[in-house]
Structure formats: C-alpha cells, structure tokens
Amino acid sequence: MSVSVSMTVNGEAVSGNVEGRTLLVQFIREHLGLTGTHVGCDTSQCGACVVHINGTSKKSCTTLAVQADGADIKTIEGLANGDELHPMQAAFREHHGLQCGFCTPGMVMSAVDLVKENPSPSEQEIRDWLEGNLCRCTGYHNIVKAIKAGAEAMRG
C-alpha cells in the first residue's frame, strides 16, 4: 500500500509515493537520487546513514520515510555552499579524515551536529560523540583532528 510523503530536503520541497516500509534512507537515495547518504549496517549501529532531521542528527536507516512526512531534512549534499565546501567538509579534506570514505558522510553530519551543541569540543568530547559512527579503516585519529579543525573553522 503506498503512502504519499512530502518533506523539505536540503531546502527543497520534495514529495513522493512510497510503501510504508520504505526507510528514509531509501527514499533519500532511491527516490531523490541523493546517494551521498550511505547504508552500512541497516540496524542503527554504524552511523553511515546519519542525516539531520529537524535539526538534529539521526540514523536514516531506522526511520521510515513516512515518519519524516513534513520534516526538514539535511543530507551531506546540502552542506556545501555551491562549489565552496562546508568548513567541516574542508577540514576532513585538509586533515585526511578519511581513507575509503564510506563512513565520511555520516561522520561529517554527526560532527556538524556536535559543533552546534558544543562549539569547541575537546578531543575526548569528540571521541565520545563519535560513539555512533564506525570507521573500519581505523582512521579515527585524523577524523578527530579534522573535527577539531572543522569546529574551529565553523566558529570563524
């Protein structure tokens, strides 16, 4: 049975007809073609699918698309300002905060949410915050450095 949903994604109004069981991440990737949001574990463990729903970071693999009806969603594609990378994205590039890049969109979205709550997080606070984002290249060291620098850049 299909249900109609509408929401705002990266500032644009979008809508579609989905089955009730369609996950938000499937709607984002398959209906909207925004494949920057990744699916890792499908069970809320890995954080590759983290997006912002109504301003806070959440895992889009454990939210149904219908539950996001009317919501304001931001994905990794919505961070940059045209060709100019978001300061957190730029910091990940500068500090080589990635190896294979699979976890990166979730890491960046999670980091941006952290800085909103805590504009100048310590290394320990960053490591604690990353509890829900797994990197299997074991690249946390540079990710932490990138987030620290990204936070600084976001403070301006």
Partner 1 sequence: MKAAEFEYFRPTTLDEACGLLADTGDDADRCLLAGGQTLVPMMAMRLARPTHLIDINRITELQGIRDLGGSVEIGAGTRQRAVEKDPITRRKLPLLAAALPHVGHHQTRNRGTVGGSIVLGDASAEIPLVALILNATLIIHRRDGRRETMADGFFEGPMMTALEPGDILTTIRFPVWDGTTGSAFHEVAPRKGDYALVSAGAQVALDANGTCIRAAIGVGGCAPTPLRLQAVEDALVGQRLTDALITQAIAPVPDLIDPESSVHASAAYRRRAAPQLVQRALLDALSEARP
Near partner 1 by CB under 8 A: residue from 16, 31, 35, 66: 66
Q: Which is nearer to partner 1, 26 or 104 (CB)?
A: 26
Q: Which range, of 17-25, 73-81, 89-97, 146-154, touches partner 1 by CB under 8 A?
A: 17-25
Does 63 engage in binding with partner 1 (CB under 8 A)? yes
Residues that contact partner 1, how many (by CB under 8 A): 29
Report d(CA 137, CA 115) in Å as an integer. Answer: 24
Report d(CA 114, CA 93) in Å as an integer. Answer: 19
Which residue, 73, 79, 57, 105, is CA-closest to 5?
A: 73
Q: Which is nearer to partner 1, 54 or 120 (CB)?
A: 54
CB of 134 to partner 1, least distance (A): 9
Report d(CA 94, CA 92) in Å as an integer. Answer: 6
Does 22 engage in binding with partner 1 (CB under 8 A)? yes
DSSP 22: -
